[in-house]
Chains A and B, each alone.
Chain A
Amino acid sequence: MLKQTALHAEHIALGAKLVDFAGWDMPIQYSSQLDEHHAVRQTAGMFDVAHMSAVDLSGARVHEFLQHLLANDVAKLKLPGKALYSCMLDASGGVIDDLIVYCIEEQQFRLVVNAGTTDKDLAWLQGKSAAFGVTVKQRRDLGILAVQGPQAREKVCSLLPAELAERALALTPFSAAWAGDCFVGRTGYTGEDGFELILPHTDLVAIWKALLSAGVKPCGLGARDTLRLEAGMNLYGQDMDEGVSPLECGLAWTVAWTPEDRDFIGRKALEAQRAAPPRKTLGLVLEGRGVLRAHMPVRMAGGAAVGETTSGGFAPSLKGSIAFARVSGESVGPYEVEIRGQWLATRVVKPPFVRNGKVLV
């Protein structure tokens, strides 16, 4: 039996196509995936992401715990409301999950973790937190709604209580405001401006309906995938997992090496490969026609195979195809990708491919 979010009945009513995503019955598209994609780039779209989990951590030593737990350093969160993107690594430097951590107050933080990894993450957190006296609480009472696009913030704020709306509008990127259990973060997974709302389930349904009436387009996981790919953002389980270090999947920028004595889990393993990671992840743009997909073989032009694509697809904003490719660390471009027996030329680019409605490559 697949799990359902509080918005499940809304998806059915809108005629969504539903798929099994990490054990959840989730909308992949409502009508046209391309229209949904363009709505987010041009106006505003919303995504039910209530399959993901909010996890609250509290305790006198929670800051110290997170400095040990995460590859990025929560010392960067100087004020309540600030957010940070980080990998959570195992001792071998493999990625257990990627997450956003919010500072709520000195002794309280909130993590937002992936759906498919929630149980594994909770077990890991429980195991590691005990020594720090940190309490781990999954907020099953809350759901998450992402509202993304150039008009997203304004649409959401028109529906919030005036006092919270004023603070939400004033948020800088990667920060959050809240009133009671109504939490608004200026974050997202699309490369556009917008909010991720963390709300009690009944409020989630109410704001979904109000946003729908206000013309915000419901968007499925299909559009979410093409948007995040264009935005150069990794998908856990596809572009990274425990077998890959952040240095190998394009996330070296999320590893905080200083202070040098911060002993985070996985640090030793990362130090060992820091000078020359065995593999690297690149952005590729297909030169000709066709569609790159995940797990296509990649070779140096005319030469030996050096890896494969991890994510790929048609990029609606580029009207062409793009991919992430994981290749050996010493390989050099240009690279070719094999599609149905033919090796096709690509161009190496540094993701993101698209940001704030503009094509960058």
Chain B
Amino acid sequence: MSKIPSELKYVKSHEWVKKLPDGSVVIGITDHAQEALGDLVFVETPKVGRKLAAGEACAVVESVKAASDVYAPIAGEVIESNPTLADTPETINTDPYEGGWMWKLKPSNPAEIDGLLDAAGYEKSLAD
């Protein structure tokens, strides 16, 4: 059974979103996603300063098996990318919700966060 922390928000396409006290958000992919992808060997994160629309494909995770797009859960500007993933993409396999975070975003419209799935909603989307 994959882990779905209750304090995070989710989208059906298997990204998680965490609100930070300063109003920015951290984004990564879920435990379920990393499990399905298998051993990750390459990660490409969006450049700092890039403006993303909600649902835009903006990052790539490649496992031994295949390449997959990662989508922006909400609109905003990229303010930081996780620099450690270039050399240790496997961090996403071992620690998807902490060390394996992918990028930080300054939301264009913070209210968008509230429209995302909660843990129960995401868990239900996995069963569908």
Contacts and interface: CB of A to CB of B under 8 A. Distances in A.
B65 A222 contact: yes
Interface in A13-53: 28-29, 32-34
The 8 closest A-B pairs by CB, nearest first: A314-B41, A34-B39, A291-B62, A33-B64, A291-B42, A33-B39, A32-B39, A314-B64
A78 interface: no
A340 interface: yes
A228 to B, nearest CB: 14
Contacts of A28: 65
A226 B63 CA distance: 12
A353 to B, nearest CB: 16
Given A29-B38, A314-B41, A222 B64 contact: yes
Contact of A33 (B38, B42, B60): B38
A236 to B, nearest CB: 20
A288 to B, nearest CB: 11
Nearest to A290: B42
Given A289-B86, A293-B67, A314 B38 contact: no
A291 B62 CA distance: 7
Given A222-B65, A313-B64, A314-B64, A291 B39 contact: no
Contact of B67 (A29, A33, A291): A291
A356 B110 CA distance: 56
Contacts of A222: 38, 64-65
Given A32-B39, A289-B86, A314 B62 contact: yes
Nearest to B38: A33
A33 B40 CA distance: 10
A34 B42 contact: no
Contacts of A314: 41-42, 62, 64
A220 to B, nearest CB: 10
Interface string A201-244: 00000000000000000000010001000000000000000000
Interface residues of A, number: 16
Contacts, number: 35
B64 A226 contact: yes
A32 B34 CA distance: 12
A32 B37 CA distance: 11
A28 to B, nearest CB: 8
Interface in A302-322: 313-314, 316, 321
Q: Which residue, B62, B64, B65, has most C-beta atoms of chain A within 10 A? A: B64
A293 B86 CA distance: 19
A321 B64 CA distance: 10
Contacts of A291: 41-42, 62, 67
27 contacts: A29-B38, A32-B38, A32-B39, A33-B38, A33-B39, A33-B64, A34-B39, A34-B41, A34-B64, A222-B64, A226-B64, A289-B42, A289-B86, A290-B42, A290-B62, A291-B62, A291-B67, A293-B67, A313-B64, A314-B41, A314-B42, A314-B62, A314-B64, A316-B64, A321-B42, A340-B60, A340-B67
Interface string A270-291: 0000000000000000000111
Nearest to B42: A291
A290 B43 CA distance: 8
Nearest to B60: A340
Contacts of A29: 38
Interface in B11-41: 38-39, 41
Interface string B54-73: 00000010101111000000
A289 B41 CA distance: 10
A316 B60 CA distance: 19
A346 to B, nearest CB: 16
Contacts of B38: 29, 32-33, 222
Contacts of B60: 340
A226 B65 CA distance: 10
A291 B60 CA distance: 11
A340 B67 CA distance: 10
A226 B42 CA distance: 15
Contacts of A290: 42, 62
B63 to A, nearest CB: 8
Contacts of B65: 28, 33, 222
Q: Which residue, A34, A222, A321, has most C-beta atoms of chain B within 10 A? A: A34
B84 to A, nearest CB: 14
A186 to B, nearest CB: 28
A347 to B, nearest CB: 18
A286 to B, nearest CB: 10
